[in-house]
Chain A
Amino acid sequence: SQQGEEDPQALSIQEGENATMNCSYKTSINNLQWYRQNSGRGLVHLILIRSNEREKHSGRLRVTLDTSKKSSSLLITASRAADTASYFCATEMGYSTLTFGKGTMLLVSP
């Protein structure tokens, strides 16, 4: 089944540094979404990027999408300890259900 695969699985950085997470998928998509999960609780939506878009920004977040390479990246700039969480990409084909990747665990140390 369609699934995003995040890379790296885990990332540890210092406050103020940038964090980059990547997501690869297998087949054509309608959109790709990024979510954050704190301490195994509910997921919070971060950004949705559609297949005809190449880049989107939201505050300190920047998402790119390369449909030719079937990949996306999430950049968090000037990271904070509060950014510590797991980050998941999710892909949607057509208007069907979302399929989630395995996630990247981000640790931001003060």
Chain B
Amino acid sequence: SAVISQKPSRDICQRGTSLTIQCQVDSQVTMMFWYRQQPGQSLTLIATANQGSEATYESGFVIDKFPISRPNLTFSTLTVSNMSPEDSSIYLCSVGGGGEKLFFGSGTQLSVL
């Protein structure tokens, strides 16, 4: 199992600013995943973060908008850059997969005014 500490839990931001979300895992993991959940919607994978290499982004998501860092095997950050109201969502980090279950952080509820 894995325990993930994600912060902040929520934030209200002004458009044009950036927010960095942090996830700390209690064990070393190869891959970390970042998801976005728009209001009333399902989870959409933003990118997969591997330690020591560039993150792999899904279609529709770009590094300039969602830069990701993965400095070691227990930590990752996702930055939401130059925010607009359309970025208001819940952002979730997770670990696991590869034929097994995912463990999720508690989520960051972002509101952009």
Binding site for B on A (CB under 8 A): 3, 30-31, 33, 35, 40-45, 48, 88, 90, 92, 95, 97-103
Contacts and interface: CB of A to CB of B under 8 A. Distances in A.
Contact of A97 (B41, B42, B45): B45
B42 A42 contact: no
Nearest to A40: B90
A40 B109 CA distance: 8
Given A43-B92, A97-B33, A100-B43, A92 B99 contact: yes
Interface in B81-113: 90, 92, 94, 97-107, 109
Q: Is the interface of B mostly helix, strand, loop or mixed?
A: strand
A100 B35 CA distance: 10
Contact of A101 (B4, B37, B42, B94): B42
Kindly list the 6 A-B residue pairs having the minimum CB-CB distance in the complex, ordered from nearest: A42-B104, A45-B101, A42-B106, A100-B43, A43-B104, A102-B42
Contacts of A43: 43, 92, 94, 102, 104
A36 to B, nearest CB: 11
Nearest to B93: A42
B79 interface: no
B112 to A, nearest CB: 16
Contacts of B98: 95
Contacts, number: 54
Given A40-B109, A42-B104, A42-B105, A98 B97 contact: yes
A102 B39 CA distance: 11
A42 B43 contact: no
B41 to A, nearest CB: 7
A89 to B, nearest CB: 10
B74 interface: no
B6 A30 contact: no
B69 interface: no
B48 interface: yes
B99 A95 contact: yes
A41 B43 CA distance: 12
